[in-house]
């Protein structure tokens, strides 16, 4: 690990990140979003996207994944991108307060993270065996054994760890997922030293009632500051899930600019909830996200040109469409 | 009014329609939905659509509008359609418990409603002068004077009246709308004998905070059973608005099958929230809507073929798309 990278004090590793009255949006467009796109833009465009998102107020961003490009071609050059933006941060082009994280699936990825001086990593596990096998080619138990190695290395080097739990609300192969297994996996991740577990609705099947049924028993055991919501918008329910989770005390949510991750040729296959749509919701509630909606819409517009298609954020589409009836003051 | 049409007892005219633990979905696809479509299907298809919706469990449906086809070409033949479905109801092809209503803008339309034996009508007014002028070519005051005549005729003939208030959350010409004017117009409609006022977010600009800010003072004056929510999904916020309104006590919501009302050539210009998406939300919460989601998705599929395009319900799109990762048990 480079000595030039600021090392956080040990106590910081598990400090909750959201001030009272605020919501933290973790921008996952560059990783979870782009990884599902058939044509991911090159490093130069991804770096510029990160800069634009930071200018729009993003404080937490996932930059890429140290996975094999054979498995996830869209994440190719993550190393080059991460190195570049860490230099940008060292040179104060990106504020040192901005949290940049990288998905790290195994020890090899962790070694890359250490070499580059990454200050936050993310690990992931599934809540159904079939999904774990098909997605990362190992059992849930084996995935936790891998994370154990990764987490020990990270903690020893004072690197923060965020955890993703996928298929928390349903598995495409097994159907309903046992909530007690989800709760057990959350606990297990926290035991590894993860500061926050992001509960993923990987196939976008949950709605408000499902969120309540999972969070009710979970919050009896785990403080809300240790949990985040990660909702895909496949059935248009992501925002109600966020509202429900927020009303139950969750204040950290993943989102991706423009709802990146959808496939333009498959209308039903959508990505994460769009950052713009989440910010629109919280703006109306007077809850501070730190993000500037107008700049996000402009970033969407810029990125759409690079992607060669319209991105799926409803707020951006409404703002950029000439045919939408707009409120006075909206962009036209 | 035909003597063969069942005349409700006077006290029924203002009785709330939703049993405890239930939510009432008013299906407005045939009117508010289709009226905004550039190519509205013919009477035969609209009649079949109504039958399918009733089979899917719809209990309250708006059938059409007695307006001039010069102004609203898509509502042409409303008279023919209403006559046909009232005969279907007389012949028990449609249950007598199903509420069929027609939008009636003036005395002339009311005379048609009386002649056909319509049992419920809807009237509408705006909350901003500019919108009232551009939409119905008269001031808010003049529109209420027209309704006064219509309402007196309806009440004298024991016909239920539902009221639509448009631009409750914002006007495309004036911007923000004064909440005290919205509250005043709600009260004015109730004074005309309207059993329920549907609060319309005509341009789909509201989100959860806006709903709370309007409902908070309104519910101090008006019981929730006298109010309904009518949310357009332009910025993807319709479901959070419904969830917020439901949590504040509102149990009646307008929705249109497939989210009808959008323009296929203008991605930002969407219609009402889709019935399927609303039912998906309430199903997850264990709240009974009386509607069968699978049948609604099938109706969407059938109607899409007639409309020659995919309709915008997110739940139906996910269900009908081959590429969506589905839960076990979902249609594929």
Report the C-alpha gap between A193 and A148 in whole angstroms.
10
Contact B172 A325 (CB under 8 A): yes
- Asked if A186 and A218 touch (Cβ cutoff 8 Å), the reply is yes
Which pLDDT score, from 0 to 100, does residue B4 have? 44
pLDDT tens for each residue of chain A, 332 residues long? 344 444 444 556 776 566 667 999 999 999 989 987 777 899 999 999 999 999 999 999 999 999 887 777 778 799 999 999 999 999 999 999 999 999 999 999 999 999 999 999 999 999 999 888 888 889 999 999 999 999 999 999 999 999 999 999 999 888 899 999 999 999 999 999 999 999 999 899 999 999 999 999 999 999 999 999 999 999 999 999 999 999 999 999 999 999 998 554 444 457 899 999 999 999 999 999 999 999 999 999 999 999 988 888 999 988 888 767 777 767 65
Which pLDDT score, from 0 to 100, does residue B74 have? 77
Which pLDDT score, from 0 to 100, does residue A17 have? 63
User: Which chain B positions have a beta carbon within 8 Å of A283's beta carbon?
Assistant: 207, 209
Strands in B173-331 per DSSP E: 196-201, 227-231, 252-255
Give the closest-approach CA distance of B81 to chain A in angstroms.
30
Question: Would you say residue B311 has pLDDT above 70?
Answer: yes
Contact A324 B266 (CB under 8 A): yes
Which pLDDT score, from 0 to 100, does residue B67 have? 87
Which pLDDT score, from 0 to 100, does residue A86 have? 98
User: Which chain B positions have a beta carbon within 8 Å of A236's beta carbon?
Assistant: 236, 239, 274, 277, 280, 313-315
Contact B207 A281 (CB under 8 A): yes
Of the listed ranges A189-198, B28-37, B65-74, B306-315, the one predicted with least confidence: B65-74
Which pLDDT score, from 0 to 100, does residue B327 have? 76
Name, in order, each residue with C-beta under 8 angstroms of A53's C-beta and a sequence gap of 6 or more.
A27, A29, A30, A61, A257, A296, A299
Over chain B, what is the mean pLDDT?
A: 90
Share of residues in chain B with pLDDT > 70 (%): 91
Of the listed ranges A74-83, A297-306, B55-64, B252-261, the one predicted with least confidence: A74-83
User: Which chain A positions have a beta carbon within 8 Å of B255's beta carbon?
Assistant: none
Which pLDDT score, from 0 to 100, does residue A26 have? 98
Nearest residue to B249 via CA among B278, B229, B230: B229
Q: Among all residues of A, which ones are annotated catalytic?
A: 263
- DSSP code of residue B5: S
Question: Would you say residue B266 has pLDDT above 70?
Answer: no
Of B21, B216, B236, which to mutate for an interface test with A (greatest number of A Cβ within 10 Å)? B236
Report the C-alpha gap between B132 and B142 in whole angstroms.
10
User: Which chain B positions have a beta carbon within 8 Å of A247's beta carbon?
Assistant: 247
Report the C-alpha gap between B286 and A209 in whole angstroms.
7
- What DSSP assignment string belongs to B239-283? HHHHHHHHHTT--EEEEBGGGTT-BTTBTT---BPBHHHHHHHHH
Rg for chain B, CA atoms, rounded: 19
Give the closest-approach CA distance of A277 to chain B in angstroms.
7
Alpha carbon B57 to its chain centroid, in Å, reads 16
Is B243 in the A-facing interface, judged by CB distances under 8 Å?
yes
Which pLDDT score, from 0 to 100, does residue B151 have? 97
Nearest to A209 among B263, B286, B327 (CB): B286
| Residue B23 binned pLDDT confidence (cut-offs 50, 70, 90) | very high
């Amino acid at each position: 690990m480079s000595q030039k990278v600021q090392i956080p004090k040990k106590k910081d590793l598990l400090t909750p990140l959201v001030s009272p009255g605020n919501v933290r949006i973790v921008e996952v467009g560059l990783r979870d979003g782009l990884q599902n796109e058939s044509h991911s833009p090159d490093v130069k465009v991804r770096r510029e996207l990160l800069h634009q998102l930071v200018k729009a107020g993003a404080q937490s961003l996932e930059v890429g994944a140290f996975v094999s490009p054979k498995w996830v071609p869209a994440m190719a050059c993550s190393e080059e991108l991460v190195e570049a933006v860490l230099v940008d941060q060292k040179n104060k082009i990106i504020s040192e307060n901005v949290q940049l994280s990288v998905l790290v699936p195994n020890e090899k990825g962790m070694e890359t993270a250490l070499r580059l001086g990454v200050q936050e990593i993310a690990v992931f596990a599934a809540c159904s065996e079939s999904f774990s096998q098909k997605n990362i080619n190992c059992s849930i138990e084996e995935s936790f054994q891998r994370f154990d190695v990764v987490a020990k290395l990270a903690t020893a080097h004072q690197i923060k760890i965020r955890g993703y739990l996928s298929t928390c609300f349903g598995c495409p192969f097994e159907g309903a997922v046992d909530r007690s297994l989800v709760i057990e996996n959350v606990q297990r991740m926290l035991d590894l030293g993860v500061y926050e577990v992001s509960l993923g609705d990987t196939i976008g099947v949950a709605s408000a009632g499902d969120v309540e049924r999972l969070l009710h028993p979970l919050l009896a055991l785990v403080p809300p500051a240790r949990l985040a919501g990660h909702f895909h918008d496949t059935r248009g329910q992501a925002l109600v899930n966020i509202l429900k989770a927020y009303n139950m005390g969750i204040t950290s949510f993943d989102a991706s600019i423009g709802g990146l991750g959808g496939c333009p040729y498959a209308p039903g296959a959508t990505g994460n909830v769009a950052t713009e749509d989440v910010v629109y919701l919280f703006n109306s509630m007077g809850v501070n996200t730190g993000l500037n909606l107008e700049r996000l819409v402009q970033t969407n517009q810029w990125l759409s040109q690079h992607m060669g298609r319209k991105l799926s954020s409803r707020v951006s589409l409404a703002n950029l469409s000439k045919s939408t009836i707009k409120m006075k003051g909206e962009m036209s």
